[in-house]
Structure 1
């Protein structure tokens, strides 16, 4: 795995972020890390993950902590570890040691936060549902976190490298596996072994038509396609997100290869034009038109691809957006609703082919986004569409039946926007069908 290459120590990075916040939001701010949640008794907790806005300025995944930000200064509020906790979990750094590591100007017990809380802005627990009390703070956080600094980009690259290794391990394990769970285990073993965690619940499934399938009990059969959407999260919280789809047998059928190559064409078309100033919505529509044109060439769709996209016919097979922001969360800042994903003055469309688009703003330098077109045959979408007869002039249902072995295909990479174009941070993992077959079959 790549070594740490951050050009600045953590404290200097965090100070720079605090200074930038002070430039655009001079008022005091309180951000809390959150508390571990118990399952059935206090000491048996779910894995703790600190709030990402807290992490952005505090840098460490501290539980039961808070920070006060004002004028570029950071005050840490947390309690030292109790003797009883040390008995069970071992010694921990002191509050003062942690404060020094993150460059805090002062540190106090957690109970002292109350005196600061009343005068400061904070984020509501459900900021996406109720942003009004902190709208200006939310907008400031989005302004900062949309464009990653060198430290963040380095952390994302490290997470991406581990994710690449995990996917290669999953492909290599497939032919010796009998269930999805065994492939998942091979992939997550790599992530855990590198001191990282999964950035989200892994999707490893032969039912790729279920977009967020989190079941792993299905058996693997030679004619199946296995869709794996698995990404690592660095200990610092920065995420990666990769999807690959491969044949369990090690070789695509001709029908599977036709659809796979079409999805790849949409993926490659988007990456080829991604650069500063390009509207992400236009990338999505480019993927839609590429898929529609390819399905016309295959005889599945009928008519002019542009008109098919205007009618949202393509969305019967590609219902989601082409990707999302990536950063301290795999769907970065979506806890704030659409404020991060949608530029000022824009709102979600009610069109079937656009309403699930997570990002609608121009690309800019140091943004990181995913590009992830797909093709899915979802019974709950295609069944009613066929029964309605609404699309009989646009879809050859008999030709579509020849592709019934293709339940779902998605190809996803993480893309950094650079001054002259973009860099695929996950390009060490091949996308071409021949290379995928070679990895799976061990050639």
Structure 2
């Protein structure tokens, strides 16, 4: 945890921004993996962590803005809890860690909320992303599961986004820790990528490194020879010399702040000539996008800049033609770059995504696009000092997509369909780094991680 004062100040600002009513924040519960007592690794809700810092299951909190009262709700440990898990703190002791002095049993939650209703208070809650929370809110409010999502408080969503978007010095320090561990994971991924090993073998090493550093993985490891599939997780595929690996992995610290990096590299040590050409197109696009980062620029415009750089490179490969800016405006680049350039990052690797991408990555004046190639851009708004984000251009050669567009003759003024056959088995390439937006520009988080062809080829294999 950070200091008690940090959590108290965060809650005070939240109360001031929301203005009135009762704020209900649910912590996460344990979830059974294949039976009740064999649970998945527990992960606390990130917003609950942000305002309370309490990393244990079975908690909820009520913040009565009108009466300036904060209540932590939980169940006192039983003797069975102590037998199986050791000495456990009381709910009061847990609450004291975050500066709360009023506690109640978790079973009292529904009664307390209904009392607020009876007083005419508005009850604010965030959109739930777990079935347990949907059920609980449905029971408390006496509404259908569908209505639970519909009635989530937009005022509370916007208030949370307004706080969590700007990372404090303490948060940046935690993210730096996560990125440094992520760096080591990627160096290991390159070193261990030798013929005969499986994707799962290498991915297991990477996951173990995150755990050994005291935290966990920030998201399931992506380590694959099929990099054309954007989120393709490791399989029992045996690596072969000359294949191109796309590795997207990141560590999460013990306080749950994330790192998120991607590197693309060959099995063994040498890129083929074509792999090198494609890789350097992606690298040039990333460098151009990074150079454009600064407060006041729309990330949507940085995304378009990177797309134009990719088109220029694809023209040199003979895959595209015509004016790069026009090709991007028509969406022709999306045959090869289907996702967005980046996203916010913090306590969630896709920060606050559960609150809605429109609220987190866009604004009242900028609506998220529904077009292919833009609908997956999670961040479009103007950048501000304190934002932490990823920059991750890529090129993905998806045979089914290429076949579909070719059959339709789609955007043929920009695409040389007769040249695509040579890339059907190429896979994909992505390069990703993490940045803090500063008052005057940007700061790379973590230490620089190798990404030039020469440096990747020079790194020894184990």
**Interval containing the TM-score (normalised by the shorter chain):** over 0.9
- After superposition, the C-alpha distances for 1:119-142 in whole angstroms (9 at most, x for unaligned) are 242224259993544111111111
C-alpha distance in structure 1 between counterparts of 2:4 and 2:283, whole Å: 42
| Aligned alpha-carbon RMSD (Å) | 2.1
Corresponding position of 1:82: 78
2:318–2:419 contact (8 Å) kept in structure 1: yes
What is the deviation of 1:91?
1.8
Match of 1:262 in 2: 281
* Among candidates 9, 15, 34, match of residue 16 of structure 1: 9
1:340 aligns with 2:333: no
- 1:307 counterpart = 2:326: yes
Q: Which of 24, 32, 42 is residue 30 of structure 1 equivalent to?
A: 24
Match for residue 60 of structure 2?
66
1-side partners of 2:227 and 2:250: how far apart? 17
Alpha-carbon separation, structure 1, partners of 2:25 and 2:173: 24
The structure 2 residue matched to 1:376, chosen from 383, 396, 421, is 396
Aligned residues: 435
DSSP 3-state at the match of 1:102: coil
Question: Aligned residue for 1:112?
Answer: 108
The match for 1:420 is: 440
Query: 8 Å contact 1:302–1:394 — kept in the other structure?
Result: yes
* Aligned-partner Cα distance in 2 for 1:116–1:98: 20
Structure 1: gaps spanning 5 or more residues: 1-5
Q: Structure 1 residue 430 and structure 2 residue 450: aligned?
A: yes
Match for 1:387 among 381, 403, 407?
407
Q: Establish whether residue 146 from structure 1 lines up as the match of residue 140 from structure 2.
A: no
More displaced stretch, 45-54 vs 367-376: 45-54
What is the distance in 2 between the residues matched to 1:375 and 1:345? 30
Report the Cα distance in structure 2 between the residues aligned to 1:399 and 1:427, rounded to whole angstroms: 39
- Give the deviation of 1:398 after TM superposition: 4.2
**What's the offset of the Cα at 1:341?**
1.6
CA deviations on 1:91-120 (whole Å, 9 max, x unpaired) are: 223323222222223233222333432324
- 1:394 positional shift: 2.5
Question: 1:144 Cα deviation (Å)?
Answer: 0.9
3-state SS of the aligned residue for 2:39? coil
Residue 202 of structure 1 is matched in structure 2 by 221
Q: Which of 178, 184, 192 lines up with 2:203 in the alignment?
A: 184
1:68-99 CA deviation, whole Å, 9 max, x = no partner? Answer: 22456542211222111221122223323222
CA distance in 1, matches of 2:408, 2:125: 49
Please tell me whether residue 353 in structure 1 is matched to residue 348 in structure 2.
no
- Alpha-carbon offset, residue 53 of structure 1: 1.4
Cα distance in structure 2, aligned partners of 1:25 and 1:314: 42
Q: Which residue in 1 is equivalent to 2:41?
A: 47
The answer (yes or no) to whether the contact 2:203–2:234 under 8 Å persists in 1 is no
Taking the aligned partners of 1:165 and 1:94, their CA distance within structure 2 comes to: 39
Q: Secondary structure at the match of 2:62?
A: strand
* Per-residue deviation, residues 215-271 of structure 1 (Å, max 9, x unmatched): 421111111111111111122221111111111121111111111011011111111
What is the DSSP-based 3-state SS (H/G/I as helix, E as strand, rest coil) of the residue aligned with 1:386? helix
Deviation at 1:159, TM superposition (A): 1.1
**Aligned partners of 2:57, 2:152: CA distance in 1, in Å?**
25
- Deviation of 1:328 (Å): 1.3
Instruction: Label 1:58 to 1:235 Cα distance change in 2 as closer, same or farther (>3 A).
Output: same
Paired residues of 1:169 and 1:190 also in contact (CA < 8 A):
no
- SS class of match (1:88): helix
**What is the match of residue 3 of structure 1?**
none
- Give the C-alpha shift of residue 373 in structure 1: 0.5
- Offset from partner CA, 1:335-364 (integer Å, 9 cap, x none): 122221211133222332322211121000
Whether contact under 8 Å (1:374, 1:410) holds in the other structure is yes
Query: How far did 1:148 drift?
Result: 1.3
CA distance in 1: counterparts of 2:59 and 2:294, whole angstroms: 39
> Does the CA-based 8 Å contact 1:296-1:302 persist in structure 2?
yes
- The 1:395–1:271 alpha-carbon spacing in structure 2 relative to 1, beyond 3 Å, is same
Q: 1:260 to 1:426 in 2, by over 3 A?
A: farther
- The residue that corresponds to 1:102 in the other structure is 98
Q: Could you tell me how far apart the structure 2 residues matched to 1:315 and 1:178 are?
A: 33
Structure 2 counterpart SS, 1:68: strand
1:123 aligns with 2:126: yes
2:4 & 2:284 partners in 1: Cα distance? 43
Contact 2:128 2:354 in 1 (8 A): no
Which of 232, 239, 247 is the aligned partner of 1:220?
239
Q: Secondary structure at the match of 1:357?
A: coil
Give, in whole Å, the separation in 1 of the partners of 2:11 and 2:268: 52
Q: Which runs of 5+ in 2 are unaligned?
A: 117-122, 135-145
| Equivalent of residue 173 in structure 1, options 187, 192, 197 | 192
Alignment of 1:229-308 (within 5 A): 229-308=248-327
